[in-house]
């Protein structure tokens, strides 16, 4: 055995690494950086398939693409897991204008939020602005009724980890339509959840409540949100928009699964992957084409280096993370209820293709100690984040089915992620080849280390 354990139990966390372990990690990195396929695979997913919103023709083609890719790399098993997924379409391109009191029209860039209803033609209304969702909640219904609500809540630029800034703002997108609809608004417009001031609006999932009438919901680009906010400081204004989005019945789709069978404990499953679907703007390059490329390449590298895992390594391309997580939920229920499997760890990459910084773990203190014990062997590769944190949306349902399973999230640098997240700018050209390859190597390496430890 190439890694010396004080105990094989997951509860014991003191490790020393052999020279052979360090050499194998170096081989992983060399393969990723000099012979890697990740960048070309990502190009193919983005350019040959395109944006992959759940229920679309592109999503169906992505399933076929994923299965063919896994088969081409010669994994031990490749198969599909059937699931039912929602089908929402944006329809014709959205249009929006601000109309000033003198009649001047200002064209704006906006996107319907995922799951929004349409406007049934051109919708017009006086716009009323709020700086935060809390301000809207505390507003008088008489101020709101029949108007279009604008929530101009900024992501907190003082947050160093930009996912915290996103988390602090998510509620305006997730629940803005509910709060505005409850007060009688006819539509809601939010400031896009992005840090740059640019013309690219950011879509994303939103919610309705059965007890509140549904209203159209859209996101303005940050540049246009600033324009509208400045207008409202000096005068009243009318907002005009048209959205043609609509829901359709659920459709059949699939999670794509590939395996390397464990040589010692084949019934122990280590799941890892990303989500195959994306929003229908851009090409889903960072979200989550990068995660697909990362994890596909990690499995390819381990196979290419003739690694024989102790436990079964299972690569999953999840479908429908963006607007329902049916793939993640269906996978967890299938693994426990139908397969009666023993799942010992899961890992996800869903934070973009930027330079790797480390890994987070959703687990016990003892499981965290195991992760932190890897810091020394990763030092030459400049990974330094080994902390408690979120694993990932797709793998989170496994926690409900397999008590005590640690969930690991890949952590790349976060500073540029929300430049592209859910925006038309999330395209292949905005992913750096070397940064993507370094992420692949980091994930392959940590899978190797966990497989030996568990």
Can you tell me which residue has the tokens 């939920």?
329
Strands (E), 304-391: 311-318, 342-348, 356-362, 385-388
Is 321 tagged catalytic?
A: yes
Other beta carbons within 10 angstroms of residue 160's beta carbon come to 9
Whether residue 288 has a cis bond before it, omega within 30° of 0:
yes
Structure tokens at 27: 């081989």
Which residues of 131-192 form beta strands (DSSP E)?
148-151, 187-191
Check: CB of residue 47 under 8 Å from CB of residue 283: yes
Rounded distance between C-alpha atoms, residue 376 and residue 382, angstroms: 10
Determine which helix (DSSP H) or strand (DSSP E) holds 77, and give its type and residue range.
Answer: strand 77-89
3-state secondary structure of 67: helix
179, 242, 259, 321: which is the annotated catalytic residue? 321
- How is residue 163 written in tokens? 């996912």
Q: Which two tokens stand for residue 401?
A: 């089915």
Q: Tell which residue, 421, 449, 433, has the closest CA to residue 21.
A: 449
Q: What are phi and psi of 148, to 5 degrees?
A: -100, 120
CB 188, CB 144: distance < 8 Å: no
- Relative to beta strand 246-260, strand 311-318 is antiparallel
- Tell me the three state secondary structure of residue 224: helix
Q: Which residue's structure tokens are 């349902």?
A: 397
The answer to whether 451 touches 313, Cβ cutoff 8 Å, is yes
Active site (catalytic) residues: 321
């Amino acid at each position: 055995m190439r890694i010396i354990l004080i105990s094989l139990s997951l509860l014991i966390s003191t490790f020393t690494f052999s020279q052979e372990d360090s050499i194998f990690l170096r081989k992983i990195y060399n393969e990723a950086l000099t012979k890697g396929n990740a960048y070309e695979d990502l190009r193919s997913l983005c350019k040959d398939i395109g944006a992959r919103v759940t229920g679309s023709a592109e999503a169906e083609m992505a399933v076929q693409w994923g299965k063919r890719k896994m088969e081409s790399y010669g994994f031990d098993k490749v198969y599909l897991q059937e699931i039912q997924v929602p089908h929402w379409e944006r329809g014709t391109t959205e249009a929006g204008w601000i109309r000033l009191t003198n009649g001047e029209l200002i064209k704006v860039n906006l996107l319907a939020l995922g799951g929004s209803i349409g406007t049934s033609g051109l919708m017009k209304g006086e716009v009323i602005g709020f700086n935060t969702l809390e301000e809207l909640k505390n507003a008088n219904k008489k101020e709101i009724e029949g108007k279009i609500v604008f929530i101009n809540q900024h992501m907190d630029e003082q947050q160093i980890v930009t996912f915290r800034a996103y988390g602090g703002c998510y509620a305006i997108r997730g629940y803005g339509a509910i709060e505005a609809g409850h007060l009688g608004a006819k539509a809601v417009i939010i400031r896009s959840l992005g840090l740059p001031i640019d013309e690219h609006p950011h879509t994303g999932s939103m919610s309705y409540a059965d007890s509140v009438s549904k209203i159209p919901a859209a996101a303005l680009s940050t540049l246009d949100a600033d324009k509208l906010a400045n207008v409202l400081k000096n005068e009243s204004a009318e907002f005009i928009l048209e959205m043609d989005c609509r829901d359709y019945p659920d459709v059949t789709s699939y999670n794509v699964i590939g395996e390397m069978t464990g040589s010692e404990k084949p019934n122990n499953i280590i799941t890892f992957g990303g989500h195959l679907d994306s929003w229908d703007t851009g090409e889903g390059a960072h979200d989550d084409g990068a995660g697909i490329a990362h994890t596909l390449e990690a499995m390819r590298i381990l196979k290419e280096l003739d690694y024989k895992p102790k436990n079964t390594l299972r690569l999953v391309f999840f479908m429908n993370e963006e607007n329902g997580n049916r793939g993640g939920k269906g996978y967890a229920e299938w693994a426990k209820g139908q397969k009666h499997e023993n799942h010992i760890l899961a890992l996800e990459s869903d934070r973009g293709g930027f330079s790797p910084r480390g890994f987070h773990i959703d687990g016990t203190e003892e499981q965290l100690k195991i992760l932190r014990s890897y810091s020394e062997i990763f030092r030459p590769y400049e990974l330094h984040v080994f902390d408690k944190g979120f694993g990932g949306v797709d793998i989170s349902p496994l926690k409900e089915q397999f008590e005590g399973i640690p969930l690991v999230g890949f952590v790349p640098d976060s500073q540029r992620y929300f430049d592209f997240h859910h925006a038309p700018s999330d395209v292949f050209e905005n992913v750096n080849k070397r940064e993507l390859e370094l992420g692949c190597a980091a994930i392959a390496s940590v899978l190797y280390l966990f497989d030996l430890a568990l």
